[in-house]
A = this chain, B = another copy of it.
Amino acid sequence: MIQKILNPRNLLFSISIIICIFIITGDAISETDPLPSWNDRSVKNYIIKFVETVTNPESNDFVKPEDRIATFDNDGNLWIEQPLYTQLAFAIDRVKAMAPDHPEWKTTEPYKAILEGNYSSLDKKDLLEIIATTHSGMTTEDFELIASAWFKTSKHPKYKRSYSELIYKPMVELLEYLRANGFKTYIVSGGGIDFMRPVTQELYGIPPEQVVGTSVVTKYELRDGKPVLIKMPEIFFIDDKEGKPIGIQKFIGKRPIFASGNSDGDYEMLLWTTTGPGKRFGLLLHHDDAEREYSYDRKSHIGKLDKALDAAGKNKWVVIIMKNDWKTIFPYEN
């Protein structure tokens, strides 16, 4: 045996294999902090402990890679949602861009208010109307181009930066950490699916097919003999509240083992996730950082966090306190 190993050819081969292993595992051995933007507090430790447990084949709580499904809300959870939902900021900019072709808007509400910059008077019905106006009547491919272009030119009122820069760095690290541990990461958002998909790969490393969201009816039509899909001004599916577990079932067909949200709209998704069998993780982000970002919860019209916050204790959901848990918030800070 020893002789066989010491045979020059075998020895060379053995050394090569050892070097192979070293090259392949080198990165893992020199592993550094997977969540550098998170302060070393209990939330970070709970997350790491959970991931280490469900990926450990020796553990009773081991979960097979194909069942490691993690779902993330988007607005106020992966990207900013104050002072207006990002998609609403987009719709307002679209109304302004489309106004020259609609002179009647100067005297018709809610367009008049928007063109005059009075967003505070807009109610829910107005918002649905301008979303319908600005998100329909074009092909899915044309809408994709419009949305992609907007992210490059948009400017947030507080930060004076593009909305694509206003994503939460700690959450992007968390997504990467989960994927590095065999999780499949999904967005499950009340926002428009066609609005998010053009940018989720670049912003979060999440491909279009892993985005679940609210959508409008789409119509198949032939134009010059070629099929196109037209976005219609009619809701097909609302992926919010009860719609989240329903959307997860429709699109993914598996119950997540990890869910992350920041508002009452995520309550049902968190409950659906954490009441399943085996080890589960519910994560709730509490925005309390008025200085670095925004502070809002129970009384907010956008991203209201009330019922879900009350339910966190009973359901053992882990609550992120932005002020204490996040070392940095946006990627541009480093």
Contact = CB atoms under 8 A, between A and B. Distances in A.
Contacts of A15: 12, 16
A207 B209 CA distance: 13
A275 B229 CA distance: 13
B227 A193 contact: no
B246 A211 contact: no
A242 B226 contact: no
A253 B197 contact: yes
B229 A246 contact: yes
A227 B282 CA distance: 15
A13 interface: yes
A249 interface: yes
Contact of A253 (B208, B220, B252): B208
B227 A272 contact: yes
Contacts of A288: none
Contacts of A19: 12-13, 16-17, 20
Interface in A227-247: 227, 229, 236, 242, 245-246
Interface string A271-283: 1100100000000
A298 interface: no
B254 A208 contact: yes
For the residues of A in contact with B, the DSSP-based class is helix
A140 B207 contact: no
Given A16-B16, A19-B20, A20-B19, A254 B218 contact: no
Max chain B Cβ within 10 angstroms of own Cβ: one of A16, A66, A197, A275 = A16
Contact of A252 (B194, B208, B226, B252): B208
A268 interface: yes
A85 B83 CA distance: 53
Contacts of A13: 19
A119 interface: no
Contacts of A246: 218-220, 229
A215 B250 contact: yes
Given A13-B19, A19-B13, A23-B20, A242 B220 contact: yes
B227 A268 contact: yes
Contact of A229 (B140, B249, B271): B249
Nearest to A18: B16
CB-based closest 5 A-B pairs:
A208-B253, A220-B242, A16-B16, A16-B19, A209-B252
8 contacts: A16-B20, A19-B20, A193-B250, A208-B254, A209-B251, A219-B246, A229-B246, A251-B251
Given A208-B254, A215-B250, A220-B245, 14 more contacts: A12-B15, A15-B16, A20-B20, A20-B23, A184-B209, A197-B253, A209-B252, A218-B249, A220-B242, A220-B246, A220-B272, A227-B268, A227-B271, A229-B249
